[in-house]
Amino acid sequence: MADCAGGILYNKMVQELQNAGGTRLNFQFDESQGTGGIADFPNLSIRIGPNSSASTLGHEIFHYYQAFDDPASFGSHQLNREVEAHVMSYAYEDRNNATLPAIPNSVEQLCHDLSQFMDANGNFTDNSLGMQAEYISKYEDIRDALRDMNDGKTPYTTMGWQNESLSDAFELLREISENC
């Protein structure tokens, strides 16, 4: 993988699967997913639509990495994890010059806006108190946009949310991009 963070994510997932006894993660094309995807945890598979992008695949792989990292809190922090995965995938698209839809207040646009305040390592570029409040506000805007979204597949309104400090938010994103 040419993308540094993507390569690190891939290698960390290989390591996690080996630590789980050589478990395999299956990838399936699923027409019903369209341009999206889903991490199918019970079946250890990722189903992606035939028109999905590389960032969609990365998004779903990232969910597995999140679940391996802290399975006990994954459900109670599920919406936080969803925001982190969205920011990770849109930061990937930004780094690879993908064209984002120009839809104000869409999840995509909000993630792009937030990622502009992060360096290549996933760290916020200005940790002053005034900027921290703006970051948290943008983070919560993404949460609210996900809750308002009704894609018919993902129950964002029922996902667990925990208020997090900036040091906790995007912890795994920073981990996979720290040496990039």
| pLDDT given at position 1 | 35
Average pLDDT over residues 109-118: 81
Q: What are the boundaries of each domain within the chain?
A: 4-177
pTM for the predicted model, two decimal places:
0.80
Using DSSP bridges, classify how beta strands 45-48 and 26-29 pair: parallel, antiparallel or unpaired.
parallel
How far apart (Å, rounded) are the C-alpha atoms in residues 170 and 113? 15
Check whether 166 has a pLDDT greater than 60: yes
DSSP letter, residue 163: -
155 vs 78, 130, 145, 165, 175, CA distance in Å? 11, 33, 13, 24, 27
Phi-psi domain of 3 (left: phi exceeds 0; alpha: psi -120 through 50; beta: other): beta
Share of the chain above pLDDT 70, in %: 81
